[in-house]
Structure 1
Amino acid sequence: MDRLTLFDEKNTLMSWLVVALGISVFVVVITFAVSSFLPYGVDWHEAFRPAALALLSGRSPYDIDKFYNPPWGLLPLLPLALLPENLGRGLLFAISLLSFAIVAHRFKASPLALAVFLLSPPVLHGLLNANIDWLAVLGFVLPPQIGLPFILIKPQIGIGVVVFWLVEAWRDGGFRQAAKISWPALLLSAASLALFGLWPLRFLQITDYSRNFNASLWPASIPVGLALLATSVYKRDHRYAMASSPCLSPHVVFHSYAGPLAALLPTTRGMMVAVITLWILVILRVVDTLL
């Protein structure tokens, strides 16, 4: 029995080593390919890298005109910002892909559903722009205490899930449980306000900045968002809350629809229908622009 246990442990260790090696090779190859052959990512170039460098130099990230996100969203990006810009952008691309794959795995998506999701217009748009939607999407599959700060990095992607988790916590343990899952986000918010002032007021400016590329259907979409949110609470299924979030936000860039699209990961057919529809809409938009 002891020999069998030792054999199983060795096999498990070997499996993990193979997985780690595979991931490492994937990251290196993707990082090199993206940094060598793709143009710079506009969001990395204009917003996230400059904001991260500002933070590293002891300045406010809000000195950067195009940075509007909560400051803790920069923390995972600090090591990447220290690299040459193209290399950091390539590594960000690889990490984004891995994060989406982790989310798909946690949603028990089929390999086909994952592939279709990664090839969807919103995901590709975010990857090419070098945005950080993956952080908010990753929050969907983390424990609420950890997931809330991640989701709040991009509230237009997951604000419905925040409401859903708080309702679920209240159901399970009242105020005490709701406070238990929300205190990390509240602590981060308080610390960021102390350090950087009333930075959330910058959200009031973002709709002006994104006027030419804002893909939000707000306020017409509010009833849809509320209906989806109510359904999520009634059915106790956070996927409806994921879908509700962009409907409740006045600012949604096209790549942020990767969030609600992720709600379809458990159903391959639903994912395929949604992505094909999105590609048709993109093609029609391109044709209309050319004409």
Structure 2
Amino acid sequence: MSTSAVCPKCGFANQPGYQFCTNCGGPLVPGAVAPPPYGVPPAYTVSPWEYERRRAIDRTKTGVLLLLIGSLLSWVLVVGIIGELLLLIGAILVILGRRAFGPSHSRNVVLSIVLFFLGIGISFLGAFVLALSAAPELVSGELVATTNALRSLFANVLVVIVIGGVVTGLASVLFTYALQKPTGRMLLWAGYAATIAGQIAILVLLAPEIDGIADVVAREIVTRPNDPTAIASATASLTDRIGSFFYLSAIPAILFAIADYLVWDRINRGEIPAPSAAPVAPPSTAPPIQPE
């Protein structure tokens, strides 16, 4: 290293031992490499694994936010369809990003999907089977037989809907359960209990009205035996009456929305998912290449 501290470029006298001039930045030692400009961060490359992991986290974060908004809108009569659409999109995003949050969450999400479709299947398939079994009495043309068949059909359909709601509600609990703290998990179970209570309340409130609805629909079917819309009115009458109790879903919707916010906040603050290293590739089992 040269003992001269005088800059050959500008002539500034630097302290001994410096490699670059403190006045102009020129090299004082032949072959010295200038440092990067001040304020320019060193360049680095994100690995494909880390890139996909960040995308999965962003998807889950956005999905949970959509679940939150969708829950708050789903029970409102006018904009309920928008809320349901947001719930669907949010659920898809959470499903796509599940792997970044560990095997427990990923397993719960898959189980939630199974339970959701199982609950939907119980409700629709059960109602279809009940309607099919009551079809002979519904088309018999006898007012008494048709009325009794409708009373039994309506009561059984309500019970099937409650059973399906119990299953789909459990899917809602498990969907973000692994991402929650104890407070969030309590909110999920409270929302689940409120969902079941609301469906039972509908069953209890409609029970006294089933006979009256069945009488009206039965007369419509008997007086128009060859009109398929008469049978369709049986389903419409019941579903319209059930829809009038939409406000009972407000409490579980709010509880689920608060739980979703807690998850979103944890992701936003970087609390979850926990940092993890890239997966290590297994050692190669290929035989070594022999030199020629």
TM-score by length of 2: 0.24
More helix by share: 1
Q: Could you say which structure has the larger radius of gyration?
A: 2
